[in-house]
Homo-oligomer: A and B are copies of this chain.
Amino acid sequence: MDISRCSINSTTVRSASLDQLIDLAIDNDIAGIGLWRDVYAPLGVTRSAELVRSSGVRVTSICRGGMFPYRDGEEKARILEDNLRAIEEAHAFGAECLVLVCGGPNGLGLDAARAQIREGMEDLAGHAQSAGVKLAVEPMHPMMVTERSAIASLAEANDLVESLDHPSVGIALDAYHVWWDARLRQEVLRAGGKLLTVQVCDWVLPLTGLLSGRGMPGEGSIDLTSFVRLCEEAGYDGLIEVEVLSDLWWSRPYPQALKAALDGFAGI
């Protein structure tokens, strides 16, 4: 796929500073970057947002808000506060969406966690709309259901987003989390215009961990070409973000990871 369609997520080149991330985007004609909140924490939001805006590089996503399930009112308030801050940050950067990793059971059962996720989304949607920020629910791989997200399939994310029926709520779709699903085609088409960001990486074995054992595009089993085509067929015309959480690639200098990411992207 042409590099003009590429966005690089900060975690793919995790040891790069925000300055370095902007520079590598400009130097390689990469149109967008995705930002984890830790990458702009050292400089602060205001200064970081100025830097990014003046560079002309698009911010395809901020990662992350969410983690809705709570055990008591105090925790609920703390979670809401963090999510409101994430919305402010996404607004400051003019990000195309704020990715929501919705949270695991947190000591509750899955049903209870899902009810709290829905409640948290309802509380947040109006704030997001006021700030002009889109909230992107990310369905995550079922192996992450305990620790990361009770929203464990695209069907479930679609159910949630449709039932919320809010103009500021859509979907962040990462191939890694959904590629196994026999109903992928029908659910991606169902998501359609609700797709706010599309991310790619690859499924490689042996897995070195539930979170950060991912591969660069082309290193593993996922047919990313078909995946991206399917998202386009569903109406998605944004950038395609390369987001690779990888202990292996993190152990190498980030220019190597960048090269592998761009080579992999070109092969999609």
Q: Which candidate, A36-44, A80-88, A120-128, A152-160, is the interface stretch facing chain B?
A: A152-160
Q: Are B182 and A142 in contact (CB under 8 A)?
A: no
Interface residue tally on A, bucketed by range: 20 to 34
Known: A221-B105, A223-B109. A142 touches B180 (CB 8 A): yes
Min distance, Cβ A157 to any Cβ of chain B, angstroms: 10
Interface residues of A in 140-182 (CB under 8 A from B): 141-143, 145-147, 150-153, 155-156, 159, 179-182
Closest partner residue, chain B, to A114 (CB atom): B182
Q: Which of B110, B142, B179, B226 contacts A141 (CB 8 A)?
A: B142
The answer to whether B182 and A159 have CB atoms under 8 Å apart is yes
Q: Are A181 and B207 in contact (CB under 8 A)?
A: no
**Can you list the 8 inter-chain pairs with the closest CB atoms, starting with the nearest?**
A145-B180, A142-B180, A156-B182, A143-B143, A152-B180, A142-B142, A146-B221, A109-B223
